Structure 1
Amino acid sequence: MTRDANDIHRNEGVGALREIMDANRRKPFDDHRASGVVGSHDDEQRDGASAHDRRRAMHPPRVRLLNYREYRQHLSSSTAGGSLIKGLVRVGTLISMNGRPGAGKTALLIEIARCLDAGEPFLGRETKQAVVVYIAAEDEIDVLNRVEAQGLDTVMIVVSEEGVPLTKPDRAVAIVREAIRQARERFPGREVFIPFDTLRAGLDGQSVLDDRFTSPALNKLRKLAEDERVVIAISNHTNRENPKQTKGETLEAVVALELILLETDGGWFELHVGKNRAGPGRRQIGRLRYTSIDLGDVEASVVDEIVAVDGVVAPAEKVRKLGGNQALVMSLIRNAILDHGFQFRPFGVEGPEVKAVKEALLREMFIKRKAGDNRADKRRSFDSALNRLLERYLVRGESADGEGVIWHVKKEAEMGK
């Protein structure tokens, strides 16, 4: 019969109880259980704690102290900390694109996507080629139209039956992580750039100022960007009018870079940097304006002109980037060469042969595709865009019968390379 410790204490005294307990401590565990004495639970706990301490002593935390040179070497096996856009965007970070509704946040994100997709400079800054994985949480058809207008065949748009619900941060992270996996499988060796358009839509309409929703979601995305060594760019509606102003929002706290669009005169918008952990902050870095491209019965707004203004590029290099109208002309001439191109010797029968198209045909294609009803305005837009492309990308000449003829500066461009 099992004897209770209280019975032993009551019938035989405290001395007898102490002797039994001391004897049980000295016995193996099985003998201890077989003795039938209840009340040794504290001993078991102490023994368990001691075993845990011994295991911890055998496997101490893996901690190292490194100086900055050693830490650089430690990072050398990954891309973490490297630049995606020099002086602006580091790999493994969460960044934000801020502006009022209609300020052109989506158009600018797609312009950045265009540069990264091609590995071209952005505002004169070096870039690394990246696969763009676009999360169109707010208006996926609008994003689709803009990507099509720019002819960006390798920009990927995330399609998820449940969306990317930031109100369920763990689920959202799982969806984005799977998109990253597929992107790396499809484009091995490239960095990954993920625009998330917009924060409010991802939160299913919840206020971006409500920390109950924004803080868990944004911190999960920041951790995901660090762990996966990708860049996640959050598009955010804001009424911020001063790039040096801060509002104490969670988004400001967790991002490594803030880009801010502010409207100015003449249809131009200023691009400012707010917070910046990769370079100088609180300054203007560019200015841009937009144009519309006709896609059948809808129009797509894209960047038409973008100019660096902060001195990163030497004055002689401060050329207008390939904008909406120029991109449209380049897209049209590629198709025109395939469908209507002809062999042309611009320097006589002994000179090199190129594949060309008639300028009049290219102009009519542009007028038909360009949004708007004013034919004269569209013709001027074509002439302006073509003039900017001449010498750098295209050449204009005349055929034997005096018609304007256009061809590529580089022969390999005839094949779309």
Structure 2
Amino acid sequence: MSYISIGKIDKSAAFEADFEPRFKLRTEKELISLPGPQWLVKHLIPTNSLILMYGAPGAGKSHIALALTQSIANGYEILGRRTNKAKIVYVAAEGAAGASNRVEAHRVYRNIPEDSEGDVLYLDCPVSLLHDGDLEDFVLAIVHKLAGQDIGLVFIDTLSRCFAGDENRADEMAQLVSACQIIQRELGCSVCLVHHEAKQGSARGSTVLPGAADTIIHVTPTDGKGFEAVIEKQKDAADGLVISGHYDLVELGIDEDGEPIEVPVALFDKISPQAKGKNNGPKGRNQAIALEVLSEASVSGLTEEDWQTAFTECIGSDNRRAFREAKIALLKRKLVSEIGGKFVAN
């Protein structure tokens, strides 16, 4: 760890004729004149940003990621929202077999000519994002393949296959964020991490990642027939939007047993503001854990001491401040009540 150790600053240096300030201060007028936020999909997918898409296994994350990929690469509007056509790199780290069928299904559905190369590049193996050699080779491979052409977005599907560290360690997750920022800087693009959901319903691992993300999309299935993608965080536009969609089956031929090969394609149906009260759940990992341990307790509830003990066992450290802040937030949002000296989940 480094510490500040400078002494008295010689301010006269700032008045020297050849002084060039390292930090550029802007007036309000200069700041306002700067370009505003730019979008790959207007008010949904920003440019040069870190995006986190997460959901439980089988929620449809990869299908939705591919639907976004095809829309952006081909310039298709999404629910009336303008899309700026851009090249995409998609890391299908879980293997080529499933990805191959899903990509072909989209091309068939969109009637893309068979001889069209398309504007998406696929990598069918993991990239170790915390390994300097892998990260540099990955960037160079993209630059070489595109021969200097611009790229809009890199999908990492899934994060767990490309991250050899401990998801629960804040320092290692911070290194992951730095790796993504390197990709953004070197390629001038956004990075979208497709990630898994923890049992509490939040994104798995340290809160460093969702804290650093500019956009967070939470994917959930609906009755096994469709999906919802909730924009939980959007730095430069409205959050809380809900994208609803369904799947169409596309037949790709007949398999070796004479049965049809049917592959689902995710289609977006509508976008709407989140229903009132729908997002009144716990915010962040600590609140989710505190609420979960209380929900699993007996109907009579827990004393504050017992509640804190259970919380400590779940997070693996005695962080009294984290517990206290979670408790206050849950009480304020009426997710928890105190009755006769004990706390119960509402």
Same fold (TM over 0.5): yes
Query: Max radius of gyration: which structure?
Result: 1
Return the alpha-carbon distance in structure 1 between the equivalents of residues 141 and 232 of structure 2: 29
Give the match's secondary structure for 1:115: helix
Amino acid paired to 1:263 = P
Q: Which runs of 5 or more structure 1 residues have no equivalent in the other structure?
A: 1-52, 313-417
2:95 corresponds to which residue? Answer: 139
Return the alpha-carbon distance in structure 2 between the equivalents of residues 284 and 272 of structure 1: 4
The Cα of 1:248 is off from its aligned counterpart by 5.5
1:166-245 → structure 2 map (5 Å cutoff): 166-168=129-131, 170-182=132-144, 184-185=146-147, 188=149, 190-204=150-164, 206-226=165-185, 228-239=187-198
Does 1:281 find its partner at 2:239? yes
The TM-score normalised by the length of structure 2 is 0.62
Does 1:66 find its partner at 2:26? yes
Does 1:270 find its partner at 2:228? yes
Worse-matched range after superposition: 219-228 or 142-151? 219-228
1:281-360 → structure 2 map (5 Å cutoff): 281-289=239-247, 291=249, 293-294=251-252, 296-297=254-255, 299=261, 301-310=263-272
Percentage of identical aligned residues: 21
Amino acid paired to 1:156 = L
Aligned to 1:105, which of 42, 58, 61?
Answer: 61
The Cα of 1:164 is off from its aligned counterpart by 1.3
1:355-366 → structure 2 map (5 Å cutoff): none
8 Å CA contact 1:268, 1:288 repeated in 2: yes
Return the alpha-carbon distance in structure 2 between the equivalents of residues 207 and 291 of structure 1: 37
In the TM superposition, what whole-angstrom CA distance separates every residue of 1:149-172 from its partner, at most 9, and x where no partner exists? 222631211367xx411231x334
1:117 corresponds to which residue? Answer: 73
Return the alpha-carbon distance in structure 2 between the equivalents of residues 166 and 291 of structure 1: 34
Flag as ranges the 4+ runs of structure 1 deviating above 6 A.
none
Q: Which runs of 5 or more structure 2 residues have no equivalent in the other structure?
A: 1-12, 275-346
Does 1:84 find its partner at 2:40? yes
Note the aligned Cα RMSD (angstroms): 3.4
The Cα of 1:109 is off from its aligned counterpart by 0.9
Structure 1 residues 287 and 148, CA gap change in structure 2 (3 angstroms):
closer
Give the match's secondary structure for 1:262: strand
In the TM superposition, what whole-angstrom CA distance separates every residue of 1:265-301 from its partner, at most 9, and x where no partner exists? 2512111111111311133232333535435539564
Return the alpha-carbon distance in structure 1 between the equivalents of residues 224 and 270 of structure 2: 17
Give the match's secondary structure for 2:152: strand
The TM-score normalised by the length of structure 1 is 0.52
8 Å CA contact 1:133, 1:157 repeated in 2: yes
Structure 1 residues 279 and 247, CA gap change in structure 2 (3 angstroms):
farther
Worse-matched range after superposition: 82-91 or 209-218? 209-218
Return the alpha-carbon distance in structure 1 between the equivalents of residues 23 and 160 of structure 2: 39
Name the one with the larger helix percent. Answer: 1
8 Å CA contact 1:89, 1:278 repeated in 2: no
The Cα of 1:198 is off from its aligned counterpart by 0.6
Structure 1 residues 97 and 302, CA gap change in structure 2 (3 angstroms):
farther
2:343 corresponds to which residue? Answer: none
Amino acid paired to 2:51 = I
1:5-16 → structure 2 map (5 Å cutoff): none
1:48 corresponds to which residue? Answer: none
Structure 1 residues 173 and 222, CA gap change in structure 2 (3 angstroms):
same
Larger relative contact order (C-alpha < 8 A, sep ≥ 6)?
2
